[in-house]
Structure 1
C-alpha cells in the first residue's frame, strides 16, 4: 500500500501463505451475487510473484476497468506486466489455485498516468486491463457488462438528488470484518455490495476529479476500503467512478473515487480498449 500523509490508496497487498494484509471496511455489506461483471484482479511483479489485488469492472467481454494505482507497481507509474482476473463471488472458497492459477489472464495493462497520491485531486487514478481472451473462456455464465457513464453524468445526478439522496452502489472484494483499528482485520476474497451516498464533487480533495463518498453512512449501508480499489461506483449498472483513496488507515469518515465520467478519461478508456471500444455501452444519466 502506498501512502501520502493521511491519504491511503485502497489496494491490498498479498500474503501468499495466508491471505491478505488489508485494513478495515465499514458498514453492513452483503454477498454480491448480482454484479457478475465485478471481478478481483491480482497483479504480478516482473518475476511472476503476486504483488497486490484490487477490484474492477467488465465493460465488455475483454475490457476490465480498475484504478490506476492498481495497474501500477509503484509511485513512479511502473505498470505491472501481467494480471489475472477472477469473477467468483467467493474466490477464497471457490478457487484453490488462487492467486497463481484460475481466472482469466492479461499481459495488456494501461495506466491513465497515475504516479502517486501527491497530486490530489488530479491523481489520474484509472487503469484498464484487456484480457487475453473473452471472459467466457473461463466463465461461460457471464453475459452482462457494466455501462460507462457519459461526461458530466455525476454532476447531473447530484444536482437532481440533493443532500443524502444521491445514493450509489458499491461492489468489490474489500475487507469484511474489523475491530475498527489497523491492529486486527479479517479479510475475505468475497464480492460484497452496499449502498453509500455522494457527499460532493468539488471542494478539497475532490476538485471535480473525484467523487467524495461517505465511508460510514449508517442505516445499514457501507463504505469503501482496502481491496475495494478500482471497484465501481454504480448508478444502476452504470460506472461513474472507480474507488481510489480514503483519508485515514481506519477507513473512517470519507472516501474518494476517481471519476470516469469526463471526456479525457472516457477517451483513455476507449483508446486502451482498442478494437473492443465499440462494444462499450455508454449511458447518459
Structure 2
C-alpha cells in the first residue's frame, strides 16, 4: 500500500480561496504543538479530517485547528480552536472500505467562515453513468510538505506551514475511492505528506464548487502519480458523518 498522503505538490499558494480549510494540530512529544494533517470546516463547530490522523491520539483526544494561511503552532499569533477528535469506529486498514474519516468537535463555533458542503448520496456514480466523470477536475487544499527536491543524500520535502491549493484530473472511481491524477507532466498537481484529511473539492477554476468530493488518504511515496481520496458520497461515509452534521 502506498504511503499516507499529505500536502500540496506542484500547486500554488491558496491566498484565501479556501478559508474553510484548516490545519490539524496535536500535542508534540516535548509538550508543545505540531501540525500533522489538514481538514475542512463542515459546520460551525465540526471539522472533517482523516481517522488515520486521529486514531493514535492520547486518550483525551485533545487537538487544535487553525484556519490561518500561515500556520505555526508555537506562534502565539496563530489562531487556534480547541476541540476533541472522534475517530470513525469503522476505521480499519482493509482495502475495500477503510472508513478513514474523522471529525473534530470544536469547543467554540467558528465565525465568519462559510463551511464546506458534502455531496449528495452516490453523486459520483450518477456522474459516471452520465459520462461526466472522465472530464471532471478537482481542487485540493491543505498544509504540509511540497514536491520532493533531490539532494545528495536523497530527496527532501520542503515544509513551510503555508496553505496551498492544487488541481487534479479524474483518474478512476470505485465503490469507496476517487482516484485523481497528480502527474505534473500532464499538467496536474496534487498532494503529499502532511495534508491527509484535507479536502478535494469538486471542480476547479471557474467551475470550482464548495462541495468536498473526497478526503485525501493515500498516494504514491514520491507524491508524483496518484492522489487516492476517500469518497464522501457513499452510504458508509454518510452513516458516520450523519451523526454530526445535516446531510444533503
Cα distance between partner residues in 2 of 1:184 and 1:108: 30
Structure 1 residues 33-42 or 213-222, which shifts more?
Answer: 213-222
Task: Give me the TM-score of the superposition, normalised by structure 1.
Answer: 0.74
CA distance in 1 between counterparts of 2:17 and 2:177 reads 26
CA separation in 1, counterparts of 2:5 and 2:194? 6
- The offset of 1:97, in angstroms, is 3.4
* Paired position in structure 2 for 1:64: 47
The residue that corresponds to 1:157 in the other structure is 127
Q: Deviations over 1:215-236 (max 9, x none)?
A: 2254553111112211111111
SS state at 2:155 partner: coil
Distance 1:112 1:199 in 2: 29
1:26 Cα offset (Å): 3.2
- Counterpart Cα distance in 1 of 2:71 and 2:35: 15
Gaps of 5+ in 2: 203-208
- Could you tell me how far apart the structure 1 residues matched to 2:95 and 2:129 are? 24
Change (3 A) 1:251 1:68: same
List per-residue Cα deviations over 1:168-215 (Å, max 9, x = no partner). Answer: 11111131343158632211211111110121112xxxxx11111112
Match of 1:110 among 87, 99, 106: 87
Q: 2:114 aligns with which of 121, 144, 164?
A: 144
- Displacement after TM superposition at 1:49 (Å): 5.4
**What's the secondary structure of 2:240's corresponding residue?**
helix
**Pick from 97, 100, 119: which aligns with 2:76?**
97
SS at match of 1:186: coil
2:65 to 62, 72, 85: 85
How far residue 159 of structure 1 moved from its aligned partner, in angstroms, is 4.0
Deviations 1:10-37 (A, max 9, x none): 26xxxxxxxxxxxx85323333411100
> Does the 8 A contact of 1:71 with 1:110 survive in 2?
yes
DSSP 3-state at the match of 2:194: coil
CA–CA separation in structure 2 for the residues paired with 1:95 and 1:168: 32
Q: How many residues align?
A: 240
Distance 2:41 2:134 in 1: 28
Q: Which structure 1 segments of 5+ residues have no match?
A: 1-5, 12-23, 137-141, 203-207
Q: Is the 8 A contact 1:67 1:230 kept in 2?
A: yes
Cα separation, 1, equivalents of 2:129 and 2:120? 16
Decide which moves more: 173-182 or 233-242.
173-182
Using the TM superposition, give the Cα deviation of residue 8 of structure 1 relative to its aligned residue in structure 2, in angstroms.
Answer: 1.0
Where 1:165 maps in the other structure, the secondary structure is coil
- C-alpha distance after superposition, 1:100-143 (max 9, x if no partner): x741001242324323x3x113211111111011123xxxxx33
Matches of 2:183 and 2:20, distance apart in 1: 25
- Is the helix fraction higher in 1 or 2? 1
Matches within 5 A, 1:42-61: 42-44=25-27, 50=33, 53-61=36-44
Match of 1:241 in 2: 214
Paired residue secondary structure (1:156): helix
Could you tell me how far apart the structure 1 residues matched to 2:225 and 2:184 are?
9
The Cα of 1:56 is off from its aligned counterpart by 0.4
Structure 2 CA distance for partners of 1:8 and 1:237, relative to 1, 3 Å: same
Query: 2:205 maps to what in 1?
Result: none
User: In 2 relative to 1, CA 105–160 (structure 1 residues): closer, same or farther, beyond 3 Å?
Assistant: same
